[in-house]
Amino acid sequence: MDLIIATRNQGKIGEIREALDMLGVVLHTFEEFSEWPQVDEVGQTLEENAVIKAEALRNHFDVHTIADDSGLEVNFLEGRPGVLSSRYAGPEEDPERNIDLLLKELTSVPENWRSARFVCVIALALAENGLRVTKGECLGTILPERRGTGGFGYDPVFQPAGFSSSMAELSLAEKNSISHRGKALREMKKVLEGLI
Ligand code: ITT
């Protein structure tokens, strides 16, 4: 089975490859294609955007496609940055500026008010028009400063519940074993196993 991964985010690609490492599925990424459609994430929710991305690429290439839409929801910020996580500090999607803005907004906010969660929606658009959606979340707190160099996005300032390290201090396999994306991908793996 051929499966396109509808993302340009290398961090996501690495995690998806690790989680879907299984016999019978050949994963394809944007680097293999000479043209790759630009998709506007105009949805109001993670689920809408995951479906928009998966269907757009499936419609273009006519191949089974999965997409990931994910984000960080901070309770003190009433769920922000949420669906706008990658563009929080501006349209240039700069992860360092996004973290700077988040830490600034949480200046002086004590640890027990810094709870947050990562949320991930994985959409599978089948070549013959079916659609499947899986979800995962990971609870934690926002650290006062960056720690670690692994992962991507907000990982250096996210401490998963029950851990004393940041998400960026975990290995790829450790992150997948507890993360929002790892959980959604394990569910999607079961769906794919039922299809091949
Ligand atoms: P694609 O749309 O091409 O998949 P993207 O990075 O723009 O790439 P999203 O629109 O889903 O993807 O934005 C998700 C953002 O949420 C991401 O850029 C990070 O800022 C944040 N995020 C999601 N999962 C994360 C993770 O596992 N670790 C750290 N930050 C994460």
Looking only at the bridges linking them, the beta strands covering 65-74 and 2-5 are parallel
Q: Do the Cβ atoms of 27 and 5 come closer than 8 Å?
A: yes
CA-nearest residue for atom 1, ligand 1, is 7
Instruction: Please give the number of the atom of ligand 1 that sits closest to the Cα of 9.
Output: 8
Chain centre distance of CA 102: 18
For residue 179 and ligand 1, the question of a CB distance below 6 A is answered with yes
- State the pLDDT at residue 46: 98
Label residue 196 by pLDDT band (50, 70, 90).
confident
For residue 30 and ligand 1, the question of a CB distance below 6 A is answered with no
- The CATH topology of domain 2-193 is Maf protein (3.90.950)
> For residues 193 and 196, what is the distance between their CA atoms, to the nearest angstrom?
6
Q: Which percentage of the chain shows pLDDT scores above 70?
A: 99
Q: Which percentage of the chain shows pLDDT scores above 90?
A: 96
What DSSP designation does 26 have?
E
Label residue 28 by pLDDT band (50, 70, 90).
very high
The per-residue pLDDT for range 127-180, each reduced to its tens digit, is: 998 999 999 999 999 999 999 999 999 999 999 999 999 999 999 999 999 999
Show the tokens assigned to 73. 């929801």
- State the pLDDT at residue 57: 98
- State the pLDDT at residue 72: 98
DSSP string, 45-72: SHHHHHHHHHHHHHHHH-S-EEEEEEEE
Q: Is the pLDDT of residue 23 over 80?
A: no
- State the pLDDT at residue 190: 95
For residue 65 and ligand 1, the question of a CB distance below 6 A is answered with no
The per-residue pLDDT for range 86-121, each reduced to its tens digit, is: 999 999 999 999 999 999 999 999 999 999 999 999
> For residues 14 and 8, what is the distance between their CA atoms, to the nearest angstrom?
11
Q: Is the pLDDT of residue 22 over 90?
A: no
For residue 159 and ligand 1, the question of a CB distance below 6 A is answered with no
- State the pLDDT at residue 24: 80
Average pLDDT over residues 28-42: 96
- Flag whether the pTM goes above 0.85: yes
Best of 12, 53, 92, 181 for a ligand 1 pocket test (most atoms within 8 Å of beta carbon) = 12
- ω into residue 81 within 30 of 0, thus cis? yes
Domain ranges for the chain, please list them: 2-193
Instruction: Please give the number of the atom of ligand 1 that sits closest to the Cα of 69.
Output: 11
Label residue 55 by pLDDT band (50, 70, 90).
very high
What is the rounded average pLDDT for all residues in the chain? 97
